[in-house]
Structure 1
Protein backbone atom coordinates (compact mmCIF):
# COMPACT_ATOMS: atom_id res chain seq x y z
CA UNK A 1 0.00 0.00 0.00
CA UNK A 2 1.27 3.47 -0.93
CA UNK A 3 1.16 5.85 2.02
CA UNK A 4 0.11 9.45 1.56
CA UNK A 5 3.28 10.33 3.45
CA UNK A 6 5.23 9.60 0.26
CA UNK A 7 3.88 12.81 -1.32
CA UNK A 8 5.54 16.17 -1.07
CA UNK A 9 3.64 19.36 -0.30
CA UNK A 10 0.92 20.11 -2.81
CA UNK A 11 1.27 22.97 -5.26
CA UNK A 12 -1.01 25.92 -5.95
CA UNK A 13 -1.96 27.43 -9.29
CA UNK A 14 -4.08 30.57 -9.48
CA UNK A 15 -6.96 30.33 -11.92
CA UNK A 16 -9.39 33.22 -12.46
CA UNK A 17 -8.20 34.61 -9.13
CA UNK A 18 -8.83 31.38 -7.19
CA UNK A 19 -6.22 29.04 -5.67
CA UNK A 20 -6.25 25.62 -7.31
CA UNK A 21 -4.55 22.67 -5.62
CA UNK A 22 -2.57 20.12 -7.60
CA UNK A 23 0.12 17.50 -7.22
CA UNK A 24 2.90 16.62 -9.64
CA UNK A 25 5.62 13.98 -9.81
CA UNK A 26 8.11 12.89 -12.46
CA UNK A 27 10.61 14.96 -14.41
CA UNK A 28 10.85 13.23 -17.79
CA UNK A 29 8.61 11.67 -20.38
CA UNK A 30 5.18 12.67 -21.69
CA UNK A 31 2.73 14.59 -19.53
CA UNK A 32 -0.31 12.87 -18.06
CA UNK A 33 -3.09 14.79 -16.29
CA UNK A 34 -5.43 13.00 -13.85
CA UNK A 35 -8.95 14.29 -13.11
CA UNK A 36 -10.98 13.01 -10.14
CA UNK A 37 -14.70 12.38 -9.78
CA UNK A 38 -17.46 14.02 -7.73
CA UNK A 39 -16.56 14.74 -4.11
CA UNK A 40 -13.01 13.46 -4.58
CA UNK A 41 -9.63 15.13 -5.13
CA UNK A 42 -6.16 14.45 -6.49
CA UNK A 43 -5.65 12.15 -3.48
CA UNK A 44 -7.86 9.61 -5.24
CA UNK A 45 -4.90 9.04 -7.59
CA UNK A 46 -2.35 8.52 -4.79
CA UNK A 47 -1.87 4.86 -5.79
CA UNK A 48 -1.30 5.75 -9.43
CA UNK A 49 0.89 8.86 -9.37
CA UNK A 50 4.17 7.27 -8.17
CA UNK A 51 3.90 4.37 -10.64
CA UNK A 52 3.07 6.57 -13.63
CA UNK A 53 5.78 9.05 -12.60
CA UNK A 54 8.44 6.40 -13.27
CA UNK A 55 8.13 7.19 -17.00
CA UNK A 56 5.90 10.28 -17.19
CA UNK A 57 5.44 13.78 -15.85
CA UNK A 58 2.28 13.30 -13.82
CA UNK A 59 -0.15 16.02 -12.77
CA UNK A 60 -3.30 15.54 -10.69
CA UNK A 61 -5.52 18.57 -10.18
CA UNK A 62 -8.43 19.37 -7.85
CA UNK A 63 -11.34 20.77 -9.83
CA UNK A 64 -12.60 24.08 -8.51
CA UNK A 65 -15.14 23.35 -5.76
CA UNK A 66 -13.43 20.14 -4.67
CA UNK A 67 -10.45 18.89 -2.68
CA UNK A 68 -7.98 21.58 -1.69
CA UNK A 69 -9.08 24.00 -4.42
CA UNK A 70 -11.16 27.10 -3.78
CA UNK A 71 -14.90 26.66 -3.25
CA UNK A 72 -16.43 30.01 -4.19
CA UNK A 73 -20.17 30.46 -3.83
CA UNK A 74 -22.05 29.84 -7.09
CA UNK A 75 -22.68 33.19 -8.80
CA UNK A 76 -23.45 34.52 -12.26
CA UNK A 77 -19.68 34.45 -12.84
CA UNK A 78 -19.01 31.04 -11.25
CA UNK A 79 -21.09 28.09 -12.38
CA UNK A 80 -20.24 24.54 -11.33
CA UNK A 81 -20.67 23.00 -14.76
CA UNK A 82 -18.64 20.84 -17.11
CA UNK A 83 -17.96 23.89 -19.25
CA UNK A 84 -16.31 25.56 -16.24
CA UNK A 85 -14.26 22.49 -15.33
CA UNK A 86 -13.36 21.92 -18.97
CA UNK A 87 -11.99 25.45 -19.20
CA UNK A 88 -10.06 24.95 -15.95
CA UNK A 89 -8.45 21.73 -17.23
CA UNK A 90 -7.58 23.27 -20.60
CA UNK A 91 -6.03 26.36 -18.98
CA UNK A 92 -4.08 24.14 -16.57
CA UNK A 93 -2.68 22.11 -19.45
CA UNK A 94 -1.55 25.23 -21.27
CA UNK A 95 -0.30 27.27 -18.31
CA UNK A 96 1.20 24.59 -16.05
CA UNK A 97 1.76 21.40 -18.05
CA UNK A 98 3.16 23.15 -21.13
CA UNK A 99 2.54 23.37 -24.85
CA UNK A 100 3.06 19.69 -25.67
CA UNK A 101 -0.23 17.74 -25.88
CA UNK A 102 -0.83 15.59 -22.79
CA UNK A 103 -2.51 12.31 -22.00
CA UNK A 104 -5.66 13.02 -19.96
CA UNK A 105 -7.31 10.52 -17.62
CA UNK A 106 -10.66 10.97 -15.85
CA UNK A 107 -12.82 9.03 -13.44
CA UNK A 108 -16.62 9.35 -13.18
CA UNK A 109 -17.66 13.00 -13.75
CA UNK A 110 -13.99 13.72 -14.35
CA UNK A 111 -14.41 11.90 -17.67
CA UNK A 112 -17.06 14.40 -18.80
CA UNK A 113 -14.85 17.32 -17.72
CA UNK A 114 -11.90 15.83 -19.64
CA UNK A 115 -13.96 15.36 -22.80
CA UNK A 116 -15.35 18.90 -22.53
CA UNK A 117 -11.83 20.30 -22.18
CA UNK A 118 -10.55 18.39 -25.21
CA UNK A 119 -13.56 19.26 -27.38
CA UNK A 120 -13.13 22.95 -26.50
CA UNK A 121 -9.31 22.93 -26.87
CA UNK A 122 -8.16 20.06 -29.11
CA UNK A 123 -4.53 21.14 -28.92
CA UNK A 124 -4.16 20.11 -25.25
CA UNK A 125 -4.57 16.34 -25.70
CA UNK A 126 -2.80 13.48 -27.41
CA UNK A 127 -5.27 10.87 -26.18
CA UNK A 128 -7.67 10.37 -23.26
CA UNK A 129 -8.57 7.49 -20.94
CA UNK A 130 -12.02 7.34 -19.34
CA UNK A 131 -12.53 5.26 -16.17
CA UNK A 132 -16.16 4.42 -15.35
CA UNK A 133 -17.43 7.50 -17.14
CA UNK A 134 -20.46 9.16 -15.59
CA UNK A 135 -23.49 8.28 -17.70
CA UNK A 136 -25.46 11.18 -16.15
CA UNK A 137 -28.59 9.06 -15.73
CA UNK A 138 -30.44 11.87 -13.90
CA UNK A 139 -29.91 14.30 -16.79
CA UNK A 140 -33.09 16.00 -18.03
CA UNK A 141 -32.78 14.19 -21.38
CA UNK A 142 -32.40 10.75 -19.77
CA UNK A 143 -35.06 10.75 -17.10
CA UNK A 144 -37.68 9.41 -19.47
CA UNK A 145 -35.93 6.04 -19.49
CA UNK A 146 -35.89 5.73 -15.69
CA UNK A 147 -38.51 3.95 -13.55
CA UNK A 148 -41.40 6.29 -12.71
CA UNK A 149 -40.38 6.70 -9.06
CA UNK A 150 -36.89 7.87 -10.04
CA UNK A 151 -38.18 9.95 -12.95
CA UNK A 152 -40.38 12.05 -10.69
CA UNK A 153 -38.53 11.57 -7.41
CA UNK A 154 -35.21 13.07 -8.49
CA UNK A 155 -36.61 16.51 -9.50
CA UNK A 156 -38.57 16.66 -6.23
CA UNK A 157 -35.41 15.95 -4.23
CA UNK A 158 -33.51 18.57 -6.24
CA UNK A 159 -36.16 21.19 -5.49
CA UNK A 160 -36.12 20.32 -1.79
CA UNK A 161 -32.33 20.55 -1.62
CA UNK A 162 -32.40 23.96 -3.30
CA UNK A 163 -34.06 25.29 -0.11
CA UNK A 164 -30.91 26.33 1.73
CA UNK A 165 -31.74 25.16 5.28
CA UNK A 166 -32.94 21.78 3.97
CA UNK A 167 -29.93 21.41 1.67
CA UNK A 168 -27.48 22.32 4.43
CA UNK A 169 -29.10 19.83 6.82
CA UNK A 170 -28.94 17.09 4.19
CA UNK A 171 -25.27 17.80 3.45
CA UNK A 172 -24.38 17.74 7.13
CA UNK A 173 -26.05 14.34 7.49
CA UNK A 174 -24.05 12.95 4.56
CA UNK A 175 -20.74 14.52 5.59
CA UNK A 176 -20.19 12.12 8.48
CA UNK A 177 -17.56 9.35 8.55
CA UNK A 178 -20.14 6.59 9.05
CA UNK A 179 -22.25 7.79 6.08
CA UNK A 180 -19.24 8.32 3.82
CA UNK A 181 -18.05 4.80 4.63
CA UNK A 182 -21.47 3.36 3.71
CA UNK A 183 -21.42 5.19 0.37
CA UNK A 184 -17.90 3.96 -0.36
CA UNK A 185 -18.89 0.39 0.50
CA UNK A 186 -21.49 0.70 -2.27
CA UNK A 187 -19.02 2.12 -4.76
CA UNK A 188 -16.18 -0.32 -4.02
CA UNK A 189 -16.62 -4.06 -4.61
CA UNK A 190 -13.67 -4.83 -2.32
CA UNK A 191 -14.58 -3.61 1.17
CA UNK A 192 -10.97 -3.96 2.35
CA UNK A 193 -10.02 -0.94 0.22
CA UNK A 194 -12.44 1.28 2.17
CA UNK A 195 -9.95 2.29 4.84
CA UNK A 196 -10.02 5.00 7.49
CA UNK A 197 -7.49 6.88 5.36
CA UNK A 198 -9.83 6.90 2.36
CA UNK A 199 -12.77 8.09 4.48
CA UNK A 200 -10.62 10.87 5.98
CA UNK A 201 -9.39 11.96 2.55
CA UNK A 202 -12.94 12.40 1.30
CA UNK A 203 -14.20 13.95 4.54
CA UNK A 204 -11.61 16.70 4.94
CA UNK A 205 -12.75 19.03 2.09
CA UNK A 206 -16.37 18.77 3.29
CA UNK A 207 -15.44 20.97 6.24
CA UNK A 208 -14.24 23.84 4.03
CA UNK A 209 -16.32 27.02 3.71
CA UNK A 210 -18.34 26.79 0.51
CA UNK A 211 -18.42 22.98 0.39
CA UNK A 212 -22.18 22.88 1.07
CA UNK A 213 -22.95 25.38 -1.69
CA UNK A 214 -20.85 23.46 -4.22
CA UNK A 215 -22.53 20.17 -3.31
CA UNK A 216 -26.01 21.66 -3.66
CA UNK A 217 -25.14 23.41 -6.93
CA UNK A 218 -24.02 20.13 -8.47
CA UNK A 219 -26.98 18.09 -7.17
CA UNK A 220 -29.25 20.62 -8.90
CA UNK A 221 -27.30 20.33 -12.17
CA UNK A 222 -29.24 18.12 -14.56
CA UNK A 223 -28.35 19.79 -17.86
CA UNK A 224 -25.05 20.21 -19.70
CA UNK A 225 -23.31 17.62 -21.90
CA UNK A 226 -23.84 13.87 -21.92
CA UNK A 227 -21.04 11.46 -22.83
CA UNK A 228 -22.84 10.64 -26.07
CA UNK A 229 -22.81 14.36 -26.94
CA UNK A 230 -19.06 14.71 -26.46
CA UNK A 231 -17.71 11.38 -27.74
CA UNK A 232 -18.54 12.06 -31.42
CA UNK A 233 -16.80 15.44 -31.17
CA UNK A 234 -13.53 14.13 -29.70
CA UNK A 235 -10.54 15.28 -31.75
CA UNK A 236 -8.31 12.51 -30.35
CA UNK A 237 -8.56 8.77 -29.66
CA UNK A 238 -9.93 7.46 -26.36
CA UNK A 239 -9.80 4.25 -24.37
CA UNK A 240 -12.36 3.25 -21.76
CA UNK A 241 -11.83 1.21 -18.59
CA UNK A 242 -14.88 0.02 -16.67
CA UNK A 243 -15.20 -1.70 -13.31
CA UNK A 244 -17.81 -4.36 -14.02
CA UNK A 245 -19.24 -4.21 -10.47
CA UNK A 246 -20.05 -0.49 -10.60
CA UNK A 247 -23.48 0.00 -8.95
CA UNK A 248 -23.90 3.58 -10.20
CA UNK A 249 -22.76 3.47 -13.83
CA UNK A 250 -23.97 0.09 -15.15
CA UNK A 251 -21.38 -1.85 -17.10
CA UNK A 252 -23.87 -2.81 -19.85
CA UNK A 253 -24.68 0.85 -20.52
CA UNK A 254 -21.02 1.78 -20.43
CA UNK A 255 -20.28 -0.88 -23.04
CA UNK A 256 -22.60 0.90 -25.47
CA UNK A 257 -20.25 3.90 -25.49
CA UNK A 258 -17.60 1.66 -27.04
CA UNK A 259 -19.56 1.82 -30.30
CA UNK A 260 -18.31 5.35 -30.96
CA UNK A 261 -15.39 5.26 -33.41
CA UNK A 262 -13.32 7.55 -31.17
CA UNK A 263 -13.22 4.75 -28.54
CA UNK A 264 -10.32 2.55 -29.67
CA UNK A 265 -10.50 0.07 -26.81
CA UNK A 266 -13.00 -0.82 -24.08
CA UNK A 267 -11.40 -2.71 -21.18
CA UNK A 268 -13.54 -4.39 -18.49
CA UNK A 269 -11.98 -4.49 -15.00
CA UNK A 270 -13.65 -7.58 -13.58
CA UNK A 271 -15.14 -7.47 -10.09
CA UNK A 272 -14.20 -3.84 -9.48
CA UNK A 273 -16.50 -0.93 -8.64
CA UNK A 274 -16.81 2.73 -9.58
CA UNK A 275 -13.24 3.88 -8.85
CA UNK A 276 -10.92 1.26 -10.40
CA UNK A 277 -7.83 3.47 -10.13
CA UNK A 278 -8.13 3.34 -6.33
CA UNK A 279 -9.69 -0.07 -5.84
CA UNK A 280 -7.47 -1.97 -8.28
CA UNK A 281 -4.38 0.14 -9.12
CA UNK A 282 -2.41 -3.05 -9.80
CA UNK A 283 -4.74 -3.61 -12.79
CA UNK A 284 -5.22 -0.02 -13.92
CA UNK A 285 -1.63 1.24 -13.77
CA UNK A 286 -0.22 -1.29 -16.28
CA UNK A 287 -3.08 -0.56 -18.68
CA UNK A 288 -2.38 3.18 -18.54
CA UNK A 289 1.36 2.60 -18.94
CA UNK A 290 0.83 0.40 -22.00
CA UNK A 291 -1.66 2.87 -23.50
CA UNK A 292 0.87 5.70 -23.24
CA UNK A 293 3.79 3.59 -24.50
CA UNK A 294 1.83 2.55 -27.62
CA UNK A 295 1.48 6.17 -28.71
CA UNK A 296 5.05 7.38 -28.20
Structure 2
Protein backbone atom coordinates (compact mmCIF):
# COMPACT_ATOMS: atom_id res chain seq x y z
CA UNK A 1 0.00 0.00 0.00
CA UNK A 2 1.41 3.41 -0.96
CA UNK A 3 0.28 6.98 -0.47
CA UNK A 4 1.73 9.86 -2.45
CA UNK A 5 1.97 13.62 -2.08
CA UNK A 6 4.17 16.23 -3.75
CA UNK A 7 7.07 17.76 -1.86
CA UNK A 8 6.79 21.54 -1.88
CA UNK A 9 10.55 21.97 -1.27
CA UNK A 10 11.54 19.56 -4.03
CA UNK A 11 9.05 19.77 -6.93
CA UNK A 12 10.85 17.11 -8.95
CA UNK A 13 10.40 14.50 -6.23
CA UNK A 14 7.41 12.81 -4.63
CA UNK A 15 7.12 11.52 -1.09
CA UNK A 16 5.61 8.08 -0.74
CA UNK A 17 5.10 5.35 1.83
CA UNK A 18 5.51 1.60 1.66
CA UNK A 19 4.54 -1.05 4.18
CA UNK A 20 7.42 -3.32 5.18
CA UNK A 21 6.62 -6.13 7.60
CA UNK A 22 3.83 -4.06 9.10
CA UNK A 23 5.86 -0.85 9.42
CA UNK A 24 5.46 2.33 7.35
CA UNK A 25 8.58 3.21 5.38
CA UNK A 26 8.91 6.69 3.87
CA UNK A 27 10.78 7.24 0.64
CA UNK A 28 11.18 9.80 -2.11
CA UNK A 29 11.31 9.27 -5.86
CA UNK A 30 12.29 11.34 -8.88
CA UNK A 31 12.67 10.56 -12.57
CA UNK A 32 10.86 8.11 -14.82
CA UNK A 33 13.51 6.79 -17.23
CA UNK A 34 16.99 5.37 -17.08
CA UNK A 35 18.61 2.99 -14.59
CA UNK A 36 17.15 2.51 -11.12
CA UNK A 37 19.15 4.07 -8.27
CA UNK A 38 18.50 3.83 -4.54
CA UNK A 39 20.06 6.38 -2.15
CA UNK A 40 20.66 5.23 1.45
CA UNK A 41 21.33 7.80 4.19
CA UNK A 42 23.62 7.64 7.20
CA UNK A 43 22.99 7.41 10.94
CA UNK A 44 20.50 9.95 12.27
CA UNK A 45 19.65 11.23 8.79
CA UNK A 46 16.90 10.49 6.26
CA UNK A 47 16.07 10.67 2.57
CA UNK A 48 16.02 14.47 2.99
CA UNK A 49 19.82 14.34 3.16
CA UNK A 50 19.66 13.61 -0.59
CA UNK A 51 17.47 16.63 -1.42
CA UNK A 52 20.31 18.19 -3.43
CA UNK A 53 20.83 15.01 -5.43
CA UNK A 54 17.35 13.71 -6.21
CA UNK A 55 16.43 16.39 -8.79
CA UNK A 56 19.63 16.16 -10.85
CA UNK A 57 19.99 12.38 -10.68
CA UNK A 58 16.29 12.12 -11.50
CA UNK A 59 16.86 13.80 -14.85
CA UNK A 60 18.87 10.77 -15.95
CA UNK A 61 17.58 7.86 -13.85
CA UNK A 62 14.73 6.52 -11.79
CA UNK A 63 16.11 7.54 -8.43
CA UNK A 64 14.73 6.65 -5.01
CA UNK A 65 15.82 7.67 -1.52
CA UNK A 66 14.57 5.66 1.45
CA UNK A 67 14.22 6.40 5.16
CA UNK A 68 15.58 3.31 6.89
CA UNK A 69 13.43 1.78 9.61
CA UNK A 70 13.94 3.88 12.74
CA UNK A 71 14.89 7.09 10.95
CA UNK A 72 13.30 10.07 9.21
CA UNK A 73 9.62 9.66 8.47
CA UNK A 74 9.70 5.87 8.74
CA UNK A 75 8.28 3.92 11.66
CA UNK A 76 10.38 3.71 14.82
CA UNK A 77 9.28 0.51 16.57
CA UNK A 78 10.96 -0.35 19.83
CA UNK A 79 13.84 -2.79 19.43
CA UNK A 80 13.28 -6.28 20.76
CA UNK A 81 14.08 -9.92 20.20
CA UNK A 82 12.15 -9.96 16.92
CA UNK A 83 13.40 -6.57 15.68
CA UNK A 84 16.95 -5.36 15.91
CA UNK A 85 18.50 -2.23 14.44
CA UNK A 86 21.33 -3.96 12.64
CA UNK A 87 22.76 -4.10 9.13
CA UNK A 88 21.02 -7.41 8.59
CA UNK A 89 17.65 -5.76 9.27
CA UNK A 90 18.31 -2.76 7.04
CA UNK A 91 19.92 -4.89 4.33
CA UNK A 92 16.78 -7.04 4.21
CA UNK A 93 14.63 -3.89 4.01
CA UNK A 94 16.65 -2.63 1.03
CA UNK A 95 16.41 -5.96 -0.80
CA UNK A 96 12.64 -6.08 -0.35
CA UNK A 97 12.36 -2.43 -1.41
CA UNK A 98 14.17 -3.28 -4.65
CA UNK A 99 11.79 -6.16 -5.31
CA UNK A 100 8.48 -4.68 -4.20
CA UNK A 101 8.80 -0.95 -4.91
CA UNK A 102 11.40 -0.52 -7.66
CA UNK A 103 10.78 -3.87 -9.31
CA UNK A 104 14.18 -3.96 -11.04
CA UNK A 105 17.82 -4.44 -10.07
CA UNK A 106 19.30 -1.10 -9.05
CA UNK A 107 22.47 0.79 -8.23
CA UNK A 108 22.86 1.55 -4.51
CA UNK A 109 24.43 4.78 -3.27
CA UNK A 110 25.14 5.11 0.44
CA UNK A 111 26.62 7.60 2.88
CA UNK A 112 28.31 6.58 6.14
CA UNK A 113 26.47 3.58 7.64
CA UNK A 114 24.26 3.62 4.55
CA UNK A 115 27.28 2.23 2.69
CA UNK A 116 27.38 -0.83 4.96
CA UNK A 117 23.63 -1.29 4.46
CA UNK A 118 24.17 -1.18 0.68
CA UNK A 119 27.00 -3.71 0.85
CA UNK A 120 24.92 -6.01 3.05
CA UNK A 121 22.02 -5.87 0.58
CA UNK A 122 24.41 -6.66 -2.29
CA UNK A 123 25.69 -9.70 -0.40
CA UNK A 124 22.16 -10.87 0.41
CA UNK A 125 20.87 -10.57 -3.18
CA UNK A 126 23.70 -9.97 -5.67
CA UNK A 127 21.42 -10.31 -8.72
CA UNK A 128 19.36 -7.33 -7.53
CA UNK A 129 22.30 -4.92 -7.08
CA UNK A 130 24.00 -3.57 -10.22
CA UNK A 131 26.66 -1.59 -8.37
CA UNK A 132 27.42 0.23 -5.11
CA UNK A 133 28.71 3.79 -4.67
CA UNK A 134 30.03 4.57 -1.20
CA UNK A 135 30.34 8.13 0.08
CA UNK A 136 32.58 8.27 3.16
CA UNK A 137 31.67 4.77 4.34
CA UNK A 138 31.60 4.08 8.03
CA UNK A 139 34.80 2.34 9.12
CA UNK A 140 33.06 1.31 12.35
CA UNK A 141 36.12 2.21 14.41
CA UNK A 142 34.32 1.29 17.66
CA UNK A 143 33.53 -2.22 16.44
CA UNK A 144 34.58 -4.85 18.97
CA UNK A 145 37.06 -6.30 16.47
CA UNK A 146 38.76 -2.92 16.02
CA UNK A 147 39.07 -1.80 19.60
CA UNK A 148 42.60 -3.10 19.82
CA UNK A 149 43.61 -0.34 17.40
CA UNK A 150 42.25 2.41 19.69
CA UNK A 151 44.13 4.24 22.40
CA UNK A 152 44.09 2.61 25.85
CA UNK A 153 41.62 5.21 27.13
CA UNK A 154 39.13 4.79 24.28
CA UNK A 155 39.50 1.01 24.29
CA UNK A 156 38.37 0.76 27.88
CA UNK A 157 35.99 3.71 28.05
CA UNK A 158 33.86 2.76 25.04
CA UNK A 159 32.28 -0.38 26.61
CA UNK A 160 31.67 1.56 29.82
CA UNK A 161 29.88 4.38 27.98
CA UNK A 162 27.83 1.88 25.98
CA UNK A 163 26.79 0.15 29.21
CA UNK A 164 25.75 3.47 30.72
CA UNK A 165 23.71 4.30 27.62
CA UNK A 166 21.87 1.01 28.12
CA UNK A 167 20.62 2.25 31.51
CA UNK A 168 17.36 4.05 30.57
CA UNK A 169 17.69 7.08 32.90
CA UNK A 170 21.16 7.89 31.62
CA UNK A 171 20.50 6.90 28.01
CA UNK A 172 17.32 8.96 27.70
CA UNK A 173 18.95 11.97 29.37
CA UNK A 174 21.88 11.72 26.96
CA UNK A 175 19.55 11.57 23.97
CA UNK A 176 17.60 14.65 25.10
CA UNK A 177 20.87 16.58 25.17
CA UNK A 178 21.73 15.47 21.63
CA UNK A 179 18.24 16.00 20.20
CA UNK A 180 18.43 19.79 20.33
CA UNK A 181 19.01 22.25 17.52
CA UNK A 182 22.20 23.66 19.04
CA UNK A 183 23.71 20.22 19.63
CA UNK A 184 22.85 19.02 16.13
CA UNK A 185 24.36 22.17 14.61
CA UNK A 186 27.58 21.64 16.58
CA UNK A 187 27.79 18.01 15.49
CA UNK A 188 27.30 19.01 11.85
CA UNK A 189 29.90 21.76 12.08
CA UNK A 190 32.36 19.14 13.30
CA UNK A 191 31.49 16.66 10.54
CA UNK A 192 31.22 19.06 7.58
CA UNK A 193 34.26 20.39 5.81
CA UNK A 194 32.12 23.09 4.20
CA UNK A 195 30.68 24.90 7.21
CA UNK A 196 28.38 27.04 5.05
CA UNK A 197 26.41 23.89 4.18
CA UNK A 198 25.21 23.66 7.80
CA UNK A 199 21.98 25.60 7.42
CA UNK A 200 18.89 26.09 9.54
CA UNK A 201 17.02 23.92 7.03
CA UNK A 202 19.44 21.05 7.50
CA UNK A 203 19.31 21.28 11.30
CA UNK A 204 15.50 21.23 11.19
CA UNK A 205 15.43 18.22 8.85
CA UNK A 206 17.57 16.22 11.28
CA UNK A 207 15.90 17.46 14.46
CA UNK A 208 12.28 16.84 13.47
CA UNK A 209 12.38 13.00 13.35
CA UNK A 210 14.55 12.92 16.49
CA UNK A 211 11.51 14.20 18.41
CA UNK A 212 9.30 11.30 17.28
CA UNK A 213 8.25 8.62 19.78
CA UNK A 214 10.73 5.77 19.65
CA UNK A 215 13.61 7.84 18.25
CA UNK A 216 15.58 7.68 21.51
CA UNK A 217 15.33 3.89 21.67
CA UNK A 218 16.55 3.55 18.08
CA UNK A 219 19.48 5.89 18.74
CA UNK A 220 20.51 4.08 21.91
CA UNK A 221 20.18 0.65 20.30
CA UNK A 222 22.50 1.56 17.46
CA UNK A 223 25.18 3.38 19.46
CA UNK A 224 25.50 0.22 21.55
CA UNK A 225 25.81 -1.98 18.43
CA UNK A 226 29.47 -2.93 18.08
CA UNK A 227 29.03 -6.18 16.19
CA UNK A 228 27.94 -7.08 12.68
CA UNK A 229 29.84 -6.67 9.41
CA UNK A 230 32.62 -4.31 8.49
CA UNK A 231 33.12 -2.98 4.98
CA UNK A 232 36.21 -5.18 4.64
CA UNK A 233 34.09 -8.25 5.47
CA UNK A 234 31.54 -7.53 2.75
CA UNK A 235 33.59 -6.13 -0.13
CA UNK A 236 35.34 -9.45 -0.92
CA UNK A 237 31.91 -11.04 -1.44
CA UNK A 238 30.74 -8.54 -4.08
CA UNK A 239 30.72 -9.19 -7.81
CA UNK A 240 29.29 -5.80 -8.83
CA UNK A 241 31.41 -2.64 -9.34
CA UNK A 242 32.02 -0.35 -6.37
CA UNK A 243 32.86 3.36 -6.52
CA UNK A 244 34.20 5.16 -3.44
CA UNK A 245 34.06 8.94 -2.97
CA UNK A 246 35.71 10.29 0.18
CA UNK A 247 35.84 13.77 1.67
CA UNK A 248 39.43 14.61 2.55
CA UNK A 249 38.25 16.76 5.48
CA UNK A 250 36.15 13.99 7.09
CA UNK A 251 37.09 13.97 10.80
CA UNK A 252 35.01 10.89 11.65
CA UNK A 253 36.08 8.49 8.91
CA UNK A 254 39.65 9.57 8.01
CA UNK A 255 40.48 9.08 4.35
CA UNK A 256 43.94 7.79 5.28
CA UNK A 257 42.30 4.80 6.97
CA UNK A 258 39.82 4.32 4.15
CA UNK A 259 42.29 4.09 1.30
CA UNK A 260 42.86 0.40 1.99
CA UNK A 261 39.33 -0.29 0.75
CA UNK A 262 40.46 0.64 -2.77
CA UNK A 263 42.53 -2.55 -2.86
CA UNK A 264 39.50 -4.83 -3.13
CA UNK A 265 39.01 -6.16 -6.65
CA UNK A 266 35.41 -4.94 -6.94
CA UNK A 267 36.43 -1.30 -6.38
CA UNK A 268 36.65 0.53 -9.72
CA UNK A 269 37.35 4.00 -8.34
CA UNK A 270 38.51 5.78 -5.20
CA UNK A 271 38.09 9.53 -5.60
CA UNK A 272 39.15 12.01 -2.88
CA UNK A 273 37.10 15.21 -2.54
CA UNK A 274 39.17 18.17 -1.40
CA UNK A 275 37.72 20.36 1.35
CA UNK A 276 34.71 18.10 1.86
CA UNK A 277 33.75 16.37 5.10
CA UNK A 278 31.61 13.40 6.07
CA UNK A 279 28.53 14.09 3.93
CA UNK A 280 29.69 14.87 0.37
CA UNK A 281 26.24 14.57 -1.19
CA UNK A 282 25.00 17.49 0.93
CA UNK A 283 28.22 19.51 1.15
CA UNK A 284 29.32 19.29 -2.47
CA UNK A 285 26.49 18.14 -4.73
CA UNK A 286 28.11 19.96 -7.66
CA UNK A 287 31.01 17.48 -7.34
CA UNK A 288 29.12 14.36 -6.32
CA UNK A 289 26.23 14.42 -8.80
CA UNK A 290 28.43 14.50 -11.96
CA UNK A 291 30.69 11.77 -10.55
CA UNK A 292 27.71 9.54 -9.83
CA UNK A 293 26.21 10.18 -13.27
CA UNK A 294 29.52 9.35 -14.97
CA UNK A 295 29.72 6.13 -12.98
CA UNK A 296 26.13 5.16 -13.82
CA UNK A 297 26.91 5.59 -17.51
CA UNK A 298 29.97 3.31 -17.29
CA UNK A 299 30.11 1.54 -13.90
CA UNK A 300 33.05 -0.73 -14.77
CA UNK A 301 35.33 2.05 -16.03
CA UNK A 302 38.56 2.08 -14.02
CA UNK A 303 40.19 5.04 -15.74
CA UNK A 304 39.37 7.32 -12.81
CA UNK A 305 40.73 4.98 -10.16
CA UNK A 306 42.70 7.29 -7.87
CA UNK A 307 44.53 6.21 -4.72
Residue pairs, 1:145-294, within 5 angstroms: 145-294=149-298
C-alpha distance in structure 1 between counterparts of 2:193 and 2:299, whole Å: 32
C-alpha distance in structure 1 between counterparts of 2:107 and 2:125, whole Å: 14
C-alpha distance in structure 2 between counterparts of 1:4 and 1:270, whole Å: 29
C-alpha distance in structure 2 between counterparts of 1:115 and 1:227, whole Å: 7
> 1:12 aligned to 2:12?
no
Alignment RMSD: 1.1
Q: Which residue in 2 is equivalent to 1:140?
A: 144
* Shift of residue 4, structure 1, vs aligned partner: 2.6
User: What do residues 84-134 of structure 1 show as CA deviations (whole Å, max 9, x unaligned)?
Assistant: 000000000011011x32111000000000000010111111111000000
* Shift of residue 78, structure 1, vs aligned partner: 0.5
Q: Which residue in 2 is equivalent to 1:62?
A: 67
Q: Rate the CA distance shift 1:293–1:7 in 2: closer, same or farther, 3 A.
A: closer
Q: Rate the CA distance shift 1:101–1:5 in 2: closer, same or farther, 3 A.
A: closer
User: What do residues 141-190 of structure 1 show as CA deviations (whole Å, max 9, x unaligned)?
Assistant: 00000001111111110000000011000000011100100000001011
For the 8 Å contact 2:241–2:299, the answer to whether it is kept is no
Q: Which residue in 2 is equivalent to 1:21?
A: 26
C-alpha distance in structure 1 between counterparts of 2:186 and 2:12, whole Å: 28
C-alpha distance in structure 1 between counterparts of 2:267 and 2:35, whole Å: 21
List alignment gaps of at least 5 residues for structure 2. 1-7, 301-307
User: What do residues 264-283 of structure 1 show as CA deviations (whole Å, max 9, x unaligned)?
Assistant: 11000111000000000000
User: What do residues 229-288 of structure 1 show as CA deviations (whole Å, max 9, x unaligned)?
Assistant: 001011211010000000000110111110111111100011100000000000000000
SS in structure 1 at match of 2:45: coil
Aligned length: 293
List alignment gaps of at least 5 residues for structure 1. none
Of 26, 31, 41 in structure 2, the residue corresponding to residue 36 of structure 1 is 41
Q: Rate the CA distance shift 1:160–1:97 in 2: closer, same or farther, 3 A.
A: same
C-alpha distance in structure 2 between counterparts of 1:56 and 1:9, whole Å: 15
User: What do residues 17-73 of structure 1 show as CA deviations (whole Å, max 9, x unaligned)?
Assistant: 000000001011110000000000000000000000001001000000000000000
> 1:75 aligned to 2:77?
no
C-alpha distance in structure 1 between counterparts of 2:149 and 2:298, whole Å: 39
Of 131, 136, 140 in structure 1, the residue corresponding to residue 135 of structure 2 is 131
* Shift of residue 196, structure 1, vs aligned partner: 0.1
C-alpha distance in structure 2 between counterparts of 1:193 and 1:268, whole Å: 19
Instruction: Extract structure 1 runs of 4+ deviating beyond 6 A.
Output: none
Q: Rate the CA distance shift 1:101–1:195 in 2: closer, same or farther, 3 A.
A: same
C-alpha distance in structure 2 between counterparts of 1:239 and 1:32, whole Å: 14
> 1:45 aligned to 2:67?
no
Q: Which residue in 2 is equivalent to 1:115?
A: 119
Q: Rate the CA distance shift 1:5–1:51 in 2: closer, same or farther, 3 A.
A: closer
